[in-house]
Amino acid sequence: MHIGIIGLGLIGGSLGLDLRSQGHYVWGLSRNQLTCDRAISLGVADFACLELGEIKDLDRTEVIFICTPIDAILSTIEAIAPHLNSSIILTDVGSVKSAIVYKAQKLHSRFIGGHPMAGTAFNGISAAQKNLFQDRPCVLTANSDTDPKAFNILRSLWQSVGAVVYECDPETHDRAVAWISHLPILVSAGLILACGREKDRAIAQLSQHLASSGFQDTSRVGGGNPQLGSLIAEYNQMALLDSLRQYQVVLADLIAQVESGNWESLEQSLILAQQLRNLYLP
Amino acid sequence: MHIGIIGLGLIGGSLGLDLRSQGHYVWGLSRNQLTCDRAISLGVADFACLELGEIKDLDRTEVIFICTPIDAILSTIEAIAPHLNSSIILTDVGSVKSAIVYKAQKLHSRFIGGHPMAGTAFNGISAAQKNLFQDRPCVLTANSDTDPKAFNILRSLWQSVGAVVYECDPETHDRAVAWISHLPILVSAGLILACGREKDRAIAQLSQHLASSGFQDTSRVGGGNPQLGSLIAEYNQMALLDSLRQYQVVLADLIAQVESGNWESLEQSLILAQQLRNLYLP
In Å, what is the CA distance from A102 to each residue of A81, A96, A99, B271? Answer: 15, 12, 7, 31
Beta bridge partners of B6: B29, B66
**Closest-CA residue to A123 (of A115, A131, A114, A132):** A132
Taking an 8 Å cut-off on Cβ atoms, the answer to whether A184 and B137 are in contact is: no
What's the residue count for chain A? 282
pLDDT in tens, A134-181: 999 999 999 998 999 999 999 999 999 999 999 999 999 999 999 999
CA B197 to chain centre: 31
All residues of chain A having their beta carbon less than 8 Å from the beta carbon of residue B96 are none
When pLDDT is cut at 50, 70 and 90, the band that residue A95 belongs to is: very high
Q: Give the ipTM of the model, two decimals please.
A: 0.94
Check CB contact under 8 Å for A230 and B266.
Answer: yes
What CA–CA distance (Å, rounded) separates A246 from A250? 6
- What type of residue sits at position A205? Q
Are residues A267 and B220, on separate chains, in Cβ contact within 8 Å? no
| A262 and B237 Cβ atoms separated by less than 8 Å | no
pLDDT at A181: 96
Give the CA-trace dihedral at B225, B223, B122, B27, to 10 degrees.
Answer: -30
- Judged by CB atoms closer than 8 Å, whether chains meet at A139 and B221 is answered as no
- Residue A48 in 3-state DSSP? strand
Helix, strand, coil fractions of chain A, as percent rounded to 5: 60, 15, 30
* Pairwise CA distance, residues A169 & A153, whole Å: 18
- CA pair distance A1, B277, nearest whole angstrom: 46
Asked if residues B233 and B182 have their Cβ atoms less than 8 Å apart, the reply is yes
Say whether pLDDT at B32 is over 90.
yes
pLDDT band at B122 (very low <50, low <70, confident <90, very high): confident
| pLDDT score of A123 | 86
Is residue B235 pLDDT above 90, yes or no?
Answer: yes
Q: Is the pLDDT of residue A87 over 80?
A: yes
In whole angstroms, give the CA distance from residue A225 to residue A101. 24
Strands (E), A82-130: 89-92, 111-112, 114-116
Query: pLDDT tens for residues B34-91?
Result: 999 999 999 999 999 999 999 988 999 999 999 999 999 999 999 999 999 999 999 9
Cα B72 to chain centroid distance, Å, stands at 14
CA distance B273 to B275: 5
**pLDDT value at B2 more than 80:** yes
CB within 8 Å: A250 and B277: no
**What is the band of B28 on the pLDDT scale with cuts at 50, 70, 90?**
very high
B281 class by beta-carbon count within 10 Å (0-12 exposed, 13-18 middle, 19+ buried)? exposed
d(CA B273, CA A193) in angstroms, rounded, equals 6
| Contacts with B194 from chain A: Cβ below 8 Å | 179, 183, 243, 246-247, 249-250
Q: Are the C-beta atoms of B91 and B152 separated by less than 8 Å? A: no
* Residues of chain A neighbouring B200 (CB-CB closer than 8 A): 172, 175
Nearest partner of B112 among B180, B71, B173, B60, judged by Cα: B173
Q: Do B187 and A187 touch (CB under 8 A)?
A: yes
CA B141 to chain centre: 14
CA distance A51 to chain B (A): 31
Q: Are the C-beta atoms of B76 and B54 separated by less than 8 Å? A: no
**From B176, B217, B244, residue closest to A258, measured CB to CB:** B244
pLDDT value of position A121: 72
Mean pLDDT of all residues belonging to chain B: 96
Q: Judge whether residue A190 has pLDDT over 80.
A: yes
Residues in CB range of B53: below 8 A, 6 or more apart: B83
pLDDT in tens, A242-254: 999 999 999 999 9
Q: Do A195 and B180 touch (CB under 8 A)?
A: yes
State pLDDT tens for residues B90-110.
999 999 999 999 999 999 999
Beta partners for residue B54, in sequence order:
none
Per CB-CB distance under 8 Å, the chain A contacts of B202 are: 168, 172
b/e burial code for range A243-272 (CB count within 10 A of at least 16 → b): bbebbbebbeebbebbeeeebebbbebbee
Q: Look at A233 and B117 and tell me if their CB atoms are within 8 Å.
A: no
The number of C-beta contacts closer than 8 angstroms across A and B is: 327
Smallest CA-to-CA distance from B97 within B236, B241, B225, B239 is with: B236
The pLDDT assigned to A57 comes to 84
List, for residues A97-130, the tens digit of each pLDDT value: 999 999 999 999 999 999 999 877 778 999 999 9
Q: Determine the distance in angstroms separating the CA of B54 from the nearest CA of chain A, rounded to an integer.
A: 36
DSSP for residue A8: -
Whether A127 and A10 have beta carbons less than 8 Å apart is answered as: yes
The structure's pTM equals 0.94
A216/B281 CB distance under 8 A: yes
To the nearest whole Å, the CA of A59 is away from the closest chain B CA by 35
